[in-house]
Structure 1
Amino acid sequence: MPSTTVSTPQESDAPLSHGLQQRHLSMIALGGVIGAGLFVGSGAGIAAAGPSIVLAYALSGLLVMLVMRMLGEMSAAYPSSGSFSAHAERAFGPWAGFTVGWAFWVLLCTAVGLEGIGAAKIVAGWLPGTPEWAWVALFLLVFCGTNLAAVKNFGEFEFWFAALKVGAITLFLVLGVLAIAGLLPGTDSPGTSHLGDLLPNGGEGLVVGLLASVFAYGGLETVTIAAAESQDPVRGVAGAVRTAMWRIALFYVGSMAVVVTLVPWDSEAVVEKGPYVAALDHLGIPGAGQVMNVVVLAALLSAMNANIYGASRIAHSLVERGHGPKALGRAPGGVPRPAVLASSVFGLVCVVLSHWRPDDVFPWLLNMIGAVILVVWIFVAVSQLRLRRRLEREEPQRLAVRMWAFPVLTWCALAGMAAVFVLMAREPGTRVQLYSSGGMTAFLAAAGYAWQRRRSAG
């Protein structure tokens, strides 16, 4: 019978450099919560849930805070660019690391293509007649090049992208609060007139808004991947995790509260222009649409940059642990250049599929990644359950970050994830995503288990 001994992956991926400074990591943690999903996808959630979108973002934000706390505990104890993939392997064996690592790699690479398409549409709107594919190619070339050069280049891009996003959302919140309070010249406070019916579309509307808000939080995991290449990984992870609560509450829940207070939730502008542009237009701020387009463009480009980085580090870590082609494991000069190239090429393939096979292959790919982030979160929670007990028993000094009220809140988080799965299965629009992602996960788990048995037998 082959051995099923749980492996102990490297605590840190030694071949990689440590070129990220603390200022890079701090700004990545701060700006990483302001994703493209907040600017681009929140309008549909507001249209479905009405004012209860604030409750939806608060509930999903609570779940995300618990996930980040669990992930932070493990990442501070075992810094690795493989992040949750390495933790899953440490907890349950190679098959688990293989499964969640490659599933997340597919998600990130596909997202690179989607974000490139979104960014190209904005720029092509400013410069009519220019082909969108050329802009996507340019963006991919730029970010592939910066990630090939040195990790500090990724850090610098993300530092300034995050600064722009944080500055924009902070200014929006300040203007919105002043307008609501009746202190902004030239505007009349709407008071609570737009908040009369909390559930205008009933419980079903809240469910749709809740599902939309869950996936808007994707990307928070990047900071635990990046921390492994910082000068002080434990300090970086601890700082990012400890401030996650107020960042989520302020940027997500706070901005949704401002939007639905200022603008009627059923206004067509909320969906057509986006909730932030609609709110700024309501305030009579000239050029609001173009200003927000610049911010959305920055969010999309930031996500492209971060996802190429994250995908390359996940792939490199998987190969380092024996879960992929050795060619992707090379890291000359401390940079996993083959993994960067492979991740960028996969993103380009997604863009090509969106043009060549928009009605069959491309939608199938999108459905396949639809629920992957929930799969990742489940692996995070079950890995933390096992590793926390092992750490307390064998290496308590590693617990620089601790999950609150362990194990009660870990089980509460798992119950919350199960509830989201049930809600996805009830909604026709998300059911196919749930089944497609489940099929991919099952396939990868079987492949990973077969790989584990083969290695054990050899």
Structure 2
Amino acid sequence: MSFDKIKAREQGLQRKLTAGQMSMIAIGGAIGTGLFLGSKFAIGFAGPSVILSYAIGGFITLLLMGCLAEMTVAHSTSGSFGAYAEHYISPLAGFLVRYAYWAAIVLAVGTEITAVAEYMQFWFKGVPSWFWIVLFSGLLIGINAMSVKAFGTLEYWFSTVKIFAIVGFIIMGAYVIWGEGNPNYGGHNYTANGGFMPNGVWGMWVAVVISIFSYLSVEMIAVAAGEAKDPEAAVKQAFRATIVRLLVFYILSLAIILAIVPWTRIGEGHSPFVTVMEVLNIPYAAGILNFVVVVAALSAMNSQLYITTRMMFSLARGGDAPKALGKLNSNGIPMNALLLSTVGIALATAIYVLFPEQAFTTMIALSMFGAIFTWLMIFLTHYFFRRYHDRNGGLSLSFKMKFFPASTLLGLFLMTAILLTTAFTETFRMTLVFGIPFIILLVCCFYVLKKKRSGL
């Protein structure tokens, strides 16, 4: 099957997203709970060396975005890396990538709304968490049901709030550390309480797993390209802007946090950002930053609902999910796919009610397999993509991944190592316990569907 046929079956979505909105969609997904809450758990593993953990995760993200941007410039469609895997590797590969990614992001939606429920306890300790889950879920589902333009506009402003807040946090933190000259704050906190790597290289490496979860959703740019006004220009602009912002925001934010608050105290509070404000005792600052953290989680959840809806739409249009999930309403929204993609919210609500202390880490562990598997497959798909076009005279593209094949193979190796690492950590053991049977089930489903289609 030619790629044009794959692209043609996904027609009908409205191309209304601008390059600026696409950049913010990627930022919206990637600067969320992973940074504002997940970093707390990463610091618990790595101590101050979490800065290295997030730098390694950022490097892998840079490699991934390069591969993805090149393929997206060549083929912009909402099926994105699922469609690329189908065309350049095999239909089975495309099937597995789409469903694994859909499951990962659906579960990630659950982590965001779980985090929102936790953040709201800062102000409303007596209000049950399920109330906030139901309230905010309903609001965001309504926004996503309106139109892609409404979604893009909301995400743009959500992400703008986050960016201004993080920039403000970095500037204020830098002033407190170096401007005031307070002896309690500074680089000496990086080596206090057990040293820079209190849990050794292993602790630093395990935190890379959480960093990947934190950066997860940057790949949304490729999916959103299917609804962009000028996909080629938008992808290139969004790629460059997203990478720079993510690396600066993550690395500098963590460096500020660890210079102000000893890493052993980070786990005591809700978000490390709020903990910093409480330590500095700035009036109302903790409450303001908690508001930003809530916005960040809602922003990420908003992006994730969008992306899961489009991935299920792609599966349905390819005949790998019920046809009803590929239908568009009058606003160009796959409503049935959107409603199905809220299953992660229901699961998160159940886990939060039953196991409130373990809810967030459990949802991360379940989501992690699909995320790591998808990133691994993007690197593998890019390798097949370039080999195919190099054998057939090459592609004249305005964006090409540098240092191929070394860069692509390095990314593939690192993601494989991260996936294997989850088997040796208690926190993420559920990743493979859930993931391996899930992949086996998907393979069986693929061949059952194949037999059904052939009429056997």
TM-score normalised to the size of structure 1?
A: 0.90
Counterpart of 2:94? 97
Superposed, 1:398-437 pairs within 5 Å as 399-437=397-435
Q: Is the 8 A contact 1:20 1:230 kept in 2?
A: yes
CA 1:21–1:240 in 2, change beyond 3 Å: closer, same or farther? closer
CA 1:365–1:455 in 2, change beyond 3 Å: closer, same or farther? farther
Counterpart of 1:29? 26
CA 1:127–1:430 in 2, change beyond 3 Å: closer, same or farther? closer
Match of 1:441 among 420, 439, 442: 439
CA 1:395–1:29 in 2, change beyond 3 Å: closer, same or farther? farther
State the Cα distance separating 1:447 from its structure 2 match.
2.0
Superposed, 1:107-146 pairs within 5 Å as 107-123=104-120, 125-146=122-143
Cα separation, 2, equivalents of 1:374 and 1:120: 26
Q: Is the 8 A contact 1:179 1:189 kept in 2?
A: no
Counterpart of 2:271? 274
Counterpart of 2:187? 192
State the Cα distance separating 1:374 from its structure 2 match.
0.8
Counterpart of 1:156? 153
Q: Is the 8 A contact 1:67 1:381 kept in 2?
A: yes
CA 1:173–1:223 in 2, change beyond 3 Å: closer, same or farther? same
Deviations 1:146-182, CA, capped at 9 Å, x for gaps: 111110111011011100110111111111222332x
Give 5+ residue unaligned stretches, structure 1: none
RMSD: 2.6
Q: Is the 8 A contact 1:225 1:310 kept in 2?
A: yes
Q: Is the 8 A contact 2:325 2:336 kept in 1?
A: yes
Q: Secondary structure at the match of 1:79?
A: coil
Cα separation, 2, equivalents of 1:384 and 1:304: 28
Cα separation, 2, equivalents of 1:313 and 1:455: 23
Superposed, 1:292-441 pairs within 5 Å as 292-333=289-330, 334-344=332-342, 346-354=343-351, 358=355, 367-394=365-392, 396-397=394-395, 399-441=397-439
Cα separation, 1, equivalents of 2:248 and 2:238: 15
Q: Indicate yes or no: 2:17 matched with 1:11.
A: no
State the Cα distance separating 1:189 from its structure 2 match.
7.1
Match of 2:46 among 44, 49, 52: 49
Q: Which amino acid in the other structure matches residue 303 of structure 1?
A: A
Cα separation, 2, equivalents of 1:264 and 1:356: 32
CA 1:50–1:135 in 2, change beyond 3 Å: closer, same or farther? closer
Cα separation, 2, equivalents of 1:50 and 1:67: 26
CA 1:178–1:235 in 2, change beyond 3 Å: closer, same or farther? same
206-215 vs 84-93, which moves further: 206-215
Q: Secondary structure at the match of 1:405?
A: coil
Counterpart of 1:243? 241
CA 1:63–1:271 in 2, change beyond 3 Å: closer, same or farther? farther
CA 1:130–1:282 in 2, change beyond 3 Å: closer, same or farther? closer
Cα separation, 1, equivalents of 2:283 and 2:353: 39
Q: Secondary structure at the match of 2:404?
A: coil
Deviations 1:350-388, CA, capped at 9 Å, x for gaps: 1453267659xx898765433211100111011111112
CA 1:388–1:144 in 2, change beyond 3 Å: closer, same or farther? same
Identity %: 33
56-65 vs 209-218, which moves further: 209-218
Q: Secondary structure at the match of 2:101?
A: helix
CA 1:405–1:366 in 2, change beyond 3 Å: closer, same or farther? closer
State the Cα distance separating 1:265 from its structure 2 match.
1.6
Cα separation, 1, equivalents of 2:280 and 2:122: 24
Q: Which amino acid in the other structure matches residue 11 of structure 1?
A: K
CA 1:46–1:130 in 2, change beyond 3 Å: closer, same or farther? closer
Match of 1:80 among 66, 70, 77: 77
Cα separation, 2, equivalents of 1:439 and 1:45: 27
Deviations 1:195-237, CA, capped at 9 Å, x for gaps: 2222122223213322222222112122221121110111111
Give 5+ residue unaligned stretches, structure 2: none
Q: Is the 8 A contact 2:379 2:412 kept in 1?
A: yes
Q: Secondary structure at the match of 1:369?
A: helix
CA 1:352–1:263 in 2, change beyond 3 Å: closer, same or farther? closer
Cα separation, 2, equivalents of 1:404 and 1:241: 14
Counterpart of 1:212? 210
CA 1:356–1:246 in 2, change beyond 3 Å: closer, same or farther? closer
State the Cα distance separating 1:125 from its structure 2 match.
4.4
State the Cα distance separating 1:255 from its structure 2 match.
1.3
CA 1:367–1:52 in 2, change beyond 3 Å: closer, same or farther? closer
Q: Which amino acid in the other structure matches residue 104 of structure 2?
A: L
State the Cα distance separating 1:430 from its structure 2 match.
2.0
State the Cα distance separating 1:454 from its structure 2 match.
4.7
CA 1:133–1:9 in 2, change beyond 3 Å: closer, same or farther? farther
Cα separation, 2, equivalents of 1:358 and 1:270: 19
Cα separation, 2, equivalents of 1:356 and 1:294: 23
